Amino acid sequence: MIRKILAASLLALLGNHAALADTWYVNVDTSALSGQSGWLDFQFNPADAFAPAASATIMSFSSTGLLQPMPTFSGDVSGSLDGTLTLGNSQDFNDWLQGVTFGTAISFRVDINEPIPNASGSGTAFSSPVPEPDVAASLLAGLGLVGFAVRRRAA
């Protein structure tokens, strides 16, 4: 009975997630560009026609610079940098272009929302161990000591 309750609880917990969200916090030091005019260009485009529907949401945008009025946008884009800017991938080209006079810093949060593959989906991941520099040095030192010991015994 306990196994059935545990299995039902796990299914209820794991079965109700419709989307997967990844969050990045972006901080850009623009002090080298301070006072200069330029552009912020946010794009979220599908890789191909078979890409699953997804969206990127930009929030908590702050800048020590000055945003220019009248940004241009095309495709599946809604909102603004003052609040929440959402870029979907339903079009071939989804773009938000904003003029800016740079200050010393720009920061914002990006949430990428994409559907979780259904149960019939599959994938493969590969991982290759890469030795750290200290591991290689330890290995060489150990082999050197073994060689020294063998040479000493032979003498």
Domain ranges within the chain, ordered by starting residue? 21-117
Q: pTM for this one?
A: 0.59
For residue 43, the tally of other CB atoms under 10 A from its CB is 15
* pLDDT for res 126: 56
Per-residue pLDDT at 97 exceeds 70: yes
- Look at residue 106 and tell me whether its pLDDT is greater than 60: yes
Residue 139 has pLDDT above 80, yes or no: no
Taking residue 38's Cβ as centre, other Cβ atoms within 10 Å add up to 14
Q: How sure is the predictor about 73, in pLDDT bands with cuts at 50, 70 and 90?
A: very high
Percentage of residues of the chain with pLDDT beyond 70: 73
